[in-house]
Structure 1
């Protein structure tokens, strides 16, 4: 579904990514792991066209989308939950969700307003509240719901549960498990290794803009040297 091939990217004259390569198949959950500043968010931004790649290729469903404008990439069926959430603070929960509604996966849309609110009962209770009046965890749920309302083929989450209360994190992990069970492909950045190991099929570890390890959850669980070298602060 998504293939990233020797991706180069950075900011101005500063190169951050030095040939990142990985792939995600239909229905797979894949994580990007690494310490802060290693290139995870830059990888997502380059995939989504938020920064222009300096080399390499990104293909989605067999089509080269390298360097296209973000709205064109999104129309291919990629939903992004960005770092920092970036909801519309002056719109209500319902207005935030409806604002992005689309059917980018084709066929009968899976994620309608009613289905999305059913997935997030907290948002259903606050559907008339302004985005700015929500807690951080509720805003993150809204950001996920907003991405789902595009009915994507691939969902990308950058820092899915960072800084959230434990009860909210648990609710979001349960939602992601539901999405996985339904066959939605997911690319995930998060630091909660215990939850990630239960959820994901494969992991891609990045160090200083390069892929240094890839493997399944079982392999990562059995590789303390990888966790100690590349993941622990």
Structure 2
């Protein structure tokens, strides 16, 4: 459903992406891996129109959305969980979720307040708390829930568990696996390769703004030097 072809992007005169290719099929989990500063977040910004690409193409279900405004791209069925979460600090948990609710894709909405609370029981417990009263893990749960409330067909997570305690990370991984089981496609950035490999289908490794390697989880496990060459500091 998502196709990124030969994507090139830059900040001013500084080129960051040099021909990135990514595909995500319906119901598939694809990871975007690489060391810090290799272009992962720039790729996400370019997909969502937050940064206009210099060249290449972004398509959703074959429709070219390259460089279109973020709200137009979101309406095509893409939901973003940004790096840093960016929840609304002075709105309650429930207000954060309701602010992005969208259910006009035909048929009953899959993701509602009740289904998000079922996925994240802690959010139900904290539903009247303000966003700035939540822990980092709770804020990440809220950011994921907020993206799901748009009822997307593809969820994109930038640094899914960055800065979270190990137990919270495991909870986030379990929720992402449940989201996959619910039929959603996922594009996820994170550094915890072994955890990602438990439920991801394919992996794309970026090195200095270029795709250095791509393959299935089985191929990644059969090629252990990939982590040493491209992922370890």
Q: TM-score range by the shorter chain?
A: over 0.9
CA distance in 2, matches of 1:10, 1:103: 35
1:28 alignment counterpart: 28
Question: How does 1:30-45 map onto structure 2 within 5 Å?
Answer: 30-45=30-45
CA contact (8 A) 1:103 1:152 kept: no
Alignment partner of 1:199: what SS? coil
Residue 100 (structure 1) aligned with residue 111 (structure 2)? no
CA distance in 2, matches of 1:159, 1:220: 20
CA contact (8 A) 1:103 1:109 kept: yes
Alignment partner of 1:59: what SS? strand
CA distance in 2, matches of 1:64, 1:88: 31
1:163 alignment counterpart: 163
Deviation at 1:114, TM superposition (A): 1.1
Alignment partner of 1:212: what SS? strand
Q: 1:104 to 1:157 in 2, by over 3 A?
A: farther
Deviation at 1:105, TM superposition (A): 4.2
Superposition RMSD on alpha carbons, in Å? 0.8
Question: How does 1:26-105 map onto structure 2 within 5 Å?
Answer: 26-103=26-103, 105=105
CA contact (8 A) 1:204 1:215 kept: yes
Structure 1 gaps, min length 5: none
Cα shift readout 1:100-124 (whole Å, capped 9, x = no counterpart): 0002643210001111111101100
2:193 alignment counterpart: 193
CA distance in 1, matches of 2:232, 2:86: 28
1:139 alignment counterpart: 139
Alignment partner of 1:198: what SS? coil
1:219 alignment counterpart: 219
Structure 2 gaps, min length 5: none
CA distance in 2, matches of 1:103, 1:15: 38
Deviation at 1:166, TM superposition (A): 1.2
CA distance in 1, matches of 2:106, 2:51: 28
CA distance in 1, matches of 2:17, 2:154: 22
CA distance in 1, matches of 2:161, 2:103: 26
CA contact (8 A) 1:104 1:153 kept: no
CA distance in 2, matches of 1:67, 1:89: 29
Alignment partner of 2:97: what SS? helix
Deviation at 1:10, TM superposition (A): 1.5
Number of aligned positions between the proteins: 233
Deviation at 1:37, TM superposition (A): 0.3
TM-score, structure 2 normalization: 0.98
1:17 alignment counterpart: 17
Cα shift readout 1:132-174 (whole Å, capped 9, x = no counterpart): 0000000000000000000001000000011101111111111
2:124 alignment counterpart: 124
Deviation at 1:193, TM superposition (A): 1.1
